[in-house]
Structure 1
Amino acid sequence: MQSLWSRAGQAHRCGCRVCDTAVSALGRRVTTATTRPRKPTFAEAFTACYSTMFASAAVVDAIRKEDRSRDLDRQLEDARRELAEAQLLRAMETDRITGRLDVDQPVLTSDQMEELWASLKEVYTSRPFMKESYKPVTLSVSELLTRLHEDHYHKPDWPTMRKLRQTDYERIELAILAEEVDASLPRREVKTRAQLHADSRTIVHLIRQLLKRAHLSQRSGPPSPSYDEASLMVKRFTQPFTFATIDPEAAQRNRSLLNQQLREIISSPTLGLKEMVGRVCYNLLVAPYLPDMHTYNTLIVTFDKTGHKNLAESLVNSFFYKRRLIPTPSTFVAIVNHYKKSNNAWRFLRTVACITGLDAETGAKVGRRLVEEIEQYQTSKEWRTGKGTTLNGDWVYKNLPLDQPLVEAIIKGLLHFNFFDQAAVFMVSCMKASVSLNTKIVQQVFDECILALDWRAALRLVRGFTDRPNGIPLLILNRGDDVAYLVSRIRVLIDVCGLSPGQRGSKSALASLNISSTKFSQFLEALDQADATSALNMDGSSNNLALFEPDQVASSLRSRLLQIESMFREQKFVEKTTRGIESKLMYPDFSMEFRISMAFHIGESTTKRSLVLNQEYSELLTPRIEQAGIKTRLRECEDFHKSIELSLENNIDLEQNMAESLEKSLEEQVNGGVALGTGEAAMETQPDAGAPIRAEQRKVMTEWFTQTSRGLPLPSAQGE
């Protein structure tokens, strides 16, 4: 191409201006094209490379910044979405933890508490014997009864009851956390050096108890360095605690941090028992301040929640018998739940007595005054008026303030120990005092009474509803979808009492149950009105009971069978209570003659029950007489029957003989005292004169009980 342009430039031109300009331009172009480019300098090359490098870096950085911005926008959007979901879950969790409280009623009025204190005193004074509480009366084992209970009364299943009976530890922990930062709660701190020293020794004793119980529970296992370190520290513990009153804010922060650490240690699933207890004790020893009531609450609840109830027992005993801490609102909630988890009915009832001031040993640790001090000094008005206090001996105890969580915990505890009658009494008192209860608590009371077919508790509830017809709307107020179920449970309770919900009940039946017919009619009308205004239709509800079947005769027969079983359970309860009272009449508080007659009566009743049981056993074996060994068993039953009948015949003569011996011994004691003529001589002579006779009486009684229990014939009275 360049050769062509070169030849064109050498071509002949005419000399005109146009041709001259064109040829000149072609020549310059050829010259420029053929000129070799000059080499760039080092500075130019460096500048070009430098500019290219930074331009490339700027482009790459811009791309990366754009990607980073997009990634941050995406992460921010995800965080916003997760935050919204967390807030929703938190609201749902709070709803679940608080148990769907129907009315926010954290504090009860003084009049309401007075009503509930009186009811709790009645619960404690009417408590059954411990034998009846630890071995309660149960229903008969029958497939027919079970089917009737499920089909006719719609008995709740065990998963539902297990869920109702569970303790909501999360709710208690939230209450304890709220109390830690509540400055309005009263505190009882040590003020003198002697008090600080005494409480320090108490904490050391508590730590030793925790270490001892942990060692007894886990004698072998992996190494526990924290347990060994805490054991050495408690043996040589000389570090005194500090007064919390010097810097209350620092003490509060330190104790809150301590409680948080204790919760994390106890709840850790990777720690063994001894290692966990060792860390807890180590933190208690190195803390600068004494553990307060919040620390006790935290340890009791957390130990019970993780299943270490024996460790929680040490904290409860330390609170009652070693420390003078003032309880917080959650303290007795934790203690009541602890005794429920420990299945200790006697301690649970004692806690109820402490709440109402009936326990003279420790009380509720709220406050107490001597009667002389109240009369002599000008004390506060509440001590002088006696409102909210209980007189017990020489002391006046202040009752524990009640709130809704404590009331519900007491009701759940009464139901746990099968005190259905007492739970019904307390619930009726709550209704009379207009105290709002959780829906689940009301449902559990109804279901437990129906599950046990407790006629006495059902009658208490029905009578309480009848005496206060407007209590039905208050009881089921704002219950939502649970109204229909609660109404159905009330109808079952009416049926258990023998009062058909479909009828108004006969006046004679109502009079025998001490129920006014007019009030009962008003109660049924209020129940029908509450049923009609419920959110669910009873006829279409799955909870509808089989009490309004088309075949009224069949429904009546089913109800009658369940009512008979309920009355049979009540009969067994009265029988067990009577036997418990009879055994208490053998105490030395009564005269010897009365105790001997009671011993004969108890022995005769036991012998007759053994006779009936032997007869039933014989009737069961008679159809199988052809089987091997049955004849021998029947012969033993016959021999036992004859020996029992013979012992019953000899008991009459033996009782008369012992009565005559007792009268004779009393006459000899009186005559001996008169003959001596001095009180001192009479006191010296009477025991000697009566000792052989009492020894003979004890010998006869011991032989009588031994031979009666073995089914052997007693010797004749003349032989004795």
Structure 2
Amino acid sequence: MHSLWSRAAQAHISCRCRLCLHTGHQIVRRSTNAAARRRVSAADLFTACYTTILGTATVFDAKRKEDRKRDLDEKLEKARTALSNLGVQESADQQGDGPYYTDDTTANHDQHNGACSSKLNLDASYSPHILPQELAALCKIARRPPSYSSWLQTQLEWVQIEAAIVAEEQDPAYELREPRSDRQLEMTTTTVIGLVNQLVWQNQVNESMRIQDSREIRGESSRSVDEFLDELRDTLRTSHYPSYHMPYADIEDTARNRFLLGESIRRIFNQAASSAEIVAKISYNLLTSSAPPSIHTYNTLIAGFNRIQRPDLAQAVVDSYIYRTTWPATQQTIVCLLNHYRGTNQVEGRRDIIQRMRGVKDDGLHYRIVNKKVIYTREWLEWAADNCASRKHAFVERAQRNDAVFNSLIKGYLHRGELGNASMALVACVRVGGFVPVRTLQELFSACLAAVDYAATRKLVRGFTKNLLRFMAIVKRIIQEESVATSRQVVMSVSRLLDICWFPDINIFGPIAGTYVRTQQRLRSILTRVQFELEIREAEDLYTATLKEINSTDLLISRLERTIASLESAQRSRRKITGPLTNFASVARVLSIDARCRDLERKLKLMRALVNAAVIKSKTGYDFDPSGLLSSERPLNLSYRQQMRRKSIINALQAIQISESQMTQGDTKLQLLQNLPDQTLARRLEDSGDVENLTIFTLTTFYAPKLGTSERLRKYNCGKPIGQLEQEFADVVNTSKAILFAHLIGGFQSKLRYWYPDWTRLPLGKLVEYHMRHGICKARRACKV
């Protein structure tokens, strides 16, 4: 018993603060006096448990400290060696790759900070971004690959979706768009026949990875499958099937037949049968049903084919729904479409669905389309402004989003590594009072912390602060429904997100901070209170568990051993969650400062470019930015070519020195030519004999970032006989390209630079073709004269 009190006291004293030292001495003294004369009460044991749980440090022996210090010194030496190889030429563009932290960083925080302060030495010749790199190396920060769901997780997701489809089908609030005439019913029949033919054809031409389909590949298909296929072919040849009745003729009978059709389809998917048998049975049921299928039937087909690992067959159903039906999508339709394209990793398909959800592409997801020529009331126009996309001639209703849709959106963005879009989707969910699963929240928060993505984190924090009451309602729900460990991890992750958005100096960033900083402080104080509530809840749970062990019927020694084991387990669980996030806090602040400085550098660079463009236009009359790319409020919404053009203009204006005397367009052109990033190309253009034919617009295109240079071949093959011969041949080709390019008229130069922004990829044959066309045009003009 005396050893138990000593261990509890030592664990509490390890904090070394004045309050803990005072309390620890009292515990040691009371345990020494009381051990010889009275039994231990339940209150005394609770005090020991409580002090052990709330201790803020762990007992480290001397050997472990020395081993940890030696290991840290070795890592510092390796990081310093790697940094010394980077040199001064380290590009700032490489900083865009997002880092992440690893969970095995469990060193003591004070020891870690002390080691960093004593070992972190930077040479003055290094790049200004070396500091974040060294800190990232110390904390094992690297780029995180995109996460992919396992096969079992995918199957469970589709099972949950199928259950939600059944619940949605039985909900009377959903109104289906039914055929109201014989012509519409005939169109529905034609659509179903086309879907059946497409399913059968896709199953025959596409390969399957399912184990059940391996027998068909070896020619061992069962007789029943052939019989089903033969019967299906006979059914398609007759004019008796499908023979659907009008849904409005008998509403109850239609609903009953459709539910039976859905149940039969789900039962077929649950059988361990081959794909051919599944397709044959489903197609036969679709054709012989007395009621036409509905949107719920299509949802069941998409989910079922994806669950049995046949996304190609699910794609046939998706195409039939998008292009052959006019049924409005339900919430589970959107979930099925988003998850289908996420599972197949089809970026364009997923983007198409999101644009249809917003109502900006085609007819959306078959919701309401209203002509703008009709005059409407003010109330309807207000509703349309909130719920419809305004197109050229019509209003297209947007899709509503529930919790399941938001969850699919966020997981899809995370799958592609689009943290900014995932953050905006979560903020939209918070704004409407929705809720996504805790697992999705943890994935998003961990990804933002992993990449130290300042832009995505700022979107999250701003959304949380603007919708503080709704966000705290989400936190409260997590605390009520989840365990203490899960709740603590979510709360600490949000606290670390606030560290990334931390303002380093309010005197510097005060003008742009404003209310944002005050709401951040309020959110941080609320999170601190929540953490304290979690501490009390954990202490209460452990106290209850301890009393249960004490009151058990086992021997006293076994009870004490189990109690000590539970205390140590609680400490390990706590360290596993708080350790990486605690060590990451200081690094996140430093990296956030670096991100802010780089953001300010970009803004200053843009401001300087705007000033230089205005001065050059005033002095020479040439406008570098006639389309207003530099002054665009949302440059990320520009196309890729517009973004490259914008960056090339900024870089070109940085290279021009504004003269106090009179400037001409010739002076501007000369400066652009002399300061080209590829100096070899600049010399070739100067030696072309027609350098005056180059326009300012053309020279500006050579300042686009991340483009290859004409020196690439020499760098790899220098010193080799064959490499020297290849280099000489490449020099001749590049010189010829420069001569031919310089002799083209300005319009042809602009077209070539538009299609080939990278000079090294410009084909010589295209230049020759343009010259022949230009020569023919000149000859024709001469003949006319």
Cα distance in 2, alignment partners of residues 700 and 558 from structure 1: 41
Q: 2:744 aligns with which of 649, 652, 658?
A: 658
Contact map agreement 2:328 2:366 (CA 8 A) in 1: yes
Q: Percent identity?
A: 18
Cα distance in 2, alignment partners of residues 476 and 366 from structure 1: 34
Q: 2:259 aligns with which of 243, 256, 260?
A: 256
* Change in CA separation of 1:702 and 1:354 when aligned onto 2, cut-off 3 Å: closer
Which residue does 1:581 correspond to in 2?
Answer: 641
Q: 1:542 aligns with which of 551, 576, 581?
A: 576
Q: Compute the displacement of 1:563 (Å).
A: 8.0
Which residue does 2:349 correspond to in 1?
Answer: 347
Q: 1:244 aligns with which of 247, 250, 263?
A: 247
Deviations 1:122-178 (A, max 9, x none): xxxxxxxxxxxxxxx855899998995895679999999758888722222122112
Which residue does 2:554 correspond to in 1?
Answer: none
Deviations 1:202-249 (A, max 9, x none): 111111111111111259544431234323432444432222222222
Contact map agreement 1:496 1:566 (CA 8 A) in 2: no
Q: Compute the displacement of 1:257 (Å).
A: 1.5
Q: Compute the displacement of 1:426 (Å).
A: 2.2
Contact map agreement 1:172 1:330 (CA 8 A) in 2: yes
Which residue does 1:368 correspond to in 2?
Answer: 369
Which residue does 2:708 correspond to in 1?
Answer: 609
* Change in CA separation of 1:718 and 1:245 when aligned onto 2, cut-off 3 Å: closer
Q: Compute the displacement of 1:711 (Å).
A: 9.7
Question: What amino acid is the match of 1:326?
Answer: P
Which residue does 2:531 correspond to in 1?
Answer: 531
Contact map agreement 2:357 2:399 (CA 8 A) in 1: yes
* Change in CA separation of 1:374 and 1:409 when aligned onto 2, cut-off 3 Å: farther
Stretch deviating more after TM superposition (339-348 or 294-303): 339-348
Contact map agreement 1:258 1:283 (CA 8 A) in 2: yes
Q: Compute the displacement of 1:596 (Å).
A: 9.1
Cα distance in 2, alignment partners of residues 448 and 577 from structure 1: 23
Stretch deviating more after TM superposition (416-425 or 511-520): 511-520
Q: Compute the displacement of 1:368 (Å).
A: 1.9
* Change in CA separation of 1:495 and 1:699 when aligned onto 2, cut-off 3 Å: closer
Q: Compute the displacement of 1:366 (Å).
A: 2.5
Cα distance in 2, alignment partners of residues 166 and 571 from structure 1: 48
Question: What amino acid is the match of 2:332?
Answer: S
Normalised by the length of structure 2, the TM-score is 0.55
Cα distance in 1, alignment partners of residues 419 and 464 from structure 2: 16
Q: Please show how residues 245-394 of structure 1 align to structure 2 within 5 Å.
A: 245-269=248-272, 271-359=273-361, 361-375=362-376, 381=380, 386-394=385-393
Question: What amino acid is the match of 1:442?
Answer: L
1:173 is the counterpart of 2:173: no
Cα distance in 2, alignment partners of residues 164 and 156 from structure 1: 20
Cα distance in 1, alignment partners of residues 517 and 757 from structure 2: 54
Normalised by the length of structure 1, the TM-score is 0.60
Contact map agreement 2:199 2:313 (CA 8 A) in 1: yes
* Change in CA separation of 1:596 and 1:262 when aligned onto 2, cut-off 3 Å: farther
Which secondary structure does the structure 2 equivalent of 1:397 belong to?
A: strand
* Change in CA separation of 1:560 and 1:147 when aligned onto 2, cut-off 3 Å: closer
Contact map agreement 1:320 1:362 (CA 8 A) in 2: no
* Change in CA separation of 1:352 and 1:385 when aligned onto 2, cut-off 3 Å: closer
Question: What amino acid is the match of 2:744?
Answer: M
Which residue does 1:111 correspond to in 2?
Answer: none
Cα distance in 1, alignment partners of residues 167 and 399 from structure 2: 20
Question: What amino acid is the match of 1:366?
Answer: Y
Question: What amino acid is the match of 1:287?
Answer: S
Which residue does 2:720 correspond to in 1?
Answer: 631
Cα distance in 1, alignment partners of residues 468 and 309 from structure 2: 43
Q: Compute the displacement of 1:252 (Å).
A: 1.8
* Change in CA separation of 1:311 and 1:564 when aligned onto 2, cut-off 3 Å: farther
Contact map agreement 1:472 1:527 (CA 8 A) in 2: no
Which residue does 1:50 correspond to in 2?
Answer: none
* Change in CA separation of 1:466 and 1:701 when aligned onto 2, cut-off 3 Å: closer
Which residue does 1:200 correspond to in 2?
Answer: 189
Deviations 1:321-342 (A, max 9, x none): 2122233332211112112112
Q: Compute the displacement of 1:265 (Å).
A: 1.5
Q: Compute the displacement of 1:418 (Å).
A: 2.3
Q: Compute the displacement of 1:353 (Å).
A: 2.4
Which secondary structure does the structure 2 equivalent of 1:330 belong to?
A: helix
Q: Compute the displacement of 1:657 (Å).
A: 3.7
Cα distance in 2, alignment partners of residues 421 and 704 from structure 1: 28
* Change in CA separation of 1:237 and 1:493 when aligned onto 2, cut-off 3 Å: farther
Deviations 1:504-541 (A, max 9, x none): 75443576678843333333323322322224599944
Q: Compute the displacement of 1:290 (Å).
A: 0.9
Cα distance in 2, alignment partners of residues 232 and 577 from structure 1: 54
* Change in CA separation of 1:192 and 1:141 when aligned onto 2, cut-off 3 Å: closer
Which residue does 1:493 correspond to in 2?
Answer: 497
Cα distance in 1, alignment partners of residues 331 and 723 from structure 2: 64
Q: Please show how residues 504-583 of structure 1 align to structure 2 within 5 Å.
A: 506-509=506-509, 516-534=516-534, 535=537, 540-546=574-580, 548=582, 556=586, 560=590, 580-582=640-642
Which secondary structure does the structure 1 equivalent of 2:389 belong to?
A: strand
Contact map agreement 1:458 1:493 (CA 8 A) in 2: yes
Contact map agreement 2:445 2:493 (CA 8 A) in 1: yes
Question: What amino acid is the match of 1:609?
Answer: G
Cα distance in 2, alignment partners of residues 149 and 227 from structure 1: 62
1:400 is the counterpart of 2:399: yes
Contact map agreement 2:100 2:452 (CA 8 A) in 1: no
Matched positions, count? 517
Question: What amino acid is the match of 1:365?
Answer: H
Contact map agreement 1:333 1:406 (CA 8 A) in 2: yes
Which secondary structure does the structure 1 equivalent of 2:395 belong to?
A: strand
Contact map agreement 1:473 1:530 (CA 8 A) in 2: no
Relative contact order: is structure 1 or structure 2 higher (C-alpha 8 Å, sep ≥ 6)?
A: 1
Contact map agreement 1:453 1:566 (CA 8 A) in 2: no
Cα distance in 2, alignment partners of residues 638 and 140 from structure 1: 38
Stretch deviating more after TM superposition (407-416 or 203-212): 407-416
Deviations 1:179-217 (A, max 9, x none): 222233212222211111111111111111111111112
Q: Compute the displacement of 1:425 (Å).
A: 1.6
Which residue does 1:681 correspond to in 2?
Answer: none
Cα distance in 2, alignment partners of residues 541 and 703 from structure 1: 55
* Change in CA separation of 1:576 and 1:261 when aligned onto 2, cut-off 3 Å: same
Stretch deviating more after TM superposition (302-311 or 512-521): 512-521
Which residue does 1:104 correspond to in 2?
Answer: none
Deviations 1:51-72 (A, max 9, x none): xxxxxxxxxxxxxxxxxxxxxx
Contact map agreement 1:382 1:388 (CA 8 A) in 2: no
Stretch deviating more after TM superposition (240-249 or 429-438): 429-438
* Change in CA separation of 1:334 and 1:192 when aligned onto 2, cut-off 3 Å: same
Cα distance in 2, alignment partners of residues 414 and 425 from structure 1: 10
Contact map agreement 1:303 1:309 (CA 8 A) in 2: yes
1:484 is the counterpart of 2:518: no
* Change in CA separation of 1:182 and 1:241 when aligned onto 2, cut-off 3 Å: same
Q: Compute the displacement of 1:437 (Å).
A: 2.8
Contact map agreement 2:424 2:460 (CA 8 A) in 1: yes
Which secondary structure does the structure 1 equivalent of 2:205 belong to?
A: helix
Cα distance in 2, alignment partners of residues 705 and 157 from structure 1: 28
Which residue does 2:198 correspond to in 1?
Answer: 209
* Change in CA separation of 1:610 and 1:390 when aligned onto 2, cut-off 3 Å: same
Aligned residues: CA RMSD: 5.1
